[in-house]
Amino acid sequence: ARADPDLRRRFVDEAKMATRLNHPHLCTIHDFAIDDDATAYLVMEFIEGVNLAELRTLHGSPGLALSLEIAHQALLALGYLHRKNVVHRDVAPDNLMLSKRDDGIPHVKIIDLGIAKEADRPIEMTATGVFLGKLRYASPEQAGSLAPGERLDGRSDLYSLGVVLYEL
């Protein structure tokens, strides 16, 4: 079975956008392809560590100092995305990876740019009209409170990060 041409186009457009992003606090997407069986895949950097959901499950609250470091590094990445006119749209604990640099300093990377969109592009639901992202962390705008003609912007990601940090 061949992939829906619209889904194929969206995957290629979003993957091309993601491969152009380069920031120390974003997971690097090296390449992408769709094979003859219409299976789409991304080639990403490997991040040795845990996501924030796993961190909380394994160790509880990370404490104030680490939470502030997580906030700072995540904001650096989001600032970069927003200057590039990209909205992540799925900032949540399982999309924030925590690892350690060689010198032992905590290092945060935002992962899963799979539903990131350029801010000036219209928001599209999936073919079945299903919301993409995690409702618990979604801004009111993502949950349907945008007026006709308005576009989602970086403030939505900041709202989601605020919810994540509140939980930390």
Active site residue 6: no
Could you give the CA distance from residue 148 to residue 45 in angstroms, rounded to a whole number? Answer: 38
The gap between the terminal CA atoms of the chain, to the nearest Å, is 44
Could you give the CA distance from residue 159 to residue 96 in angstroms, rounded to a whole number? Answer: 15
Per the residue annotation, which of 6, 35, 37, 90 is the catalytic one? 90
Identify which of 128, 135, 96 has the alpha carbon closest to the alpha carbon of residue 113. Answer: 96
* 39 SS3 class: coil
* Token reading at 6: 């619209």
Q: Which residues are catalytic?
A: 90
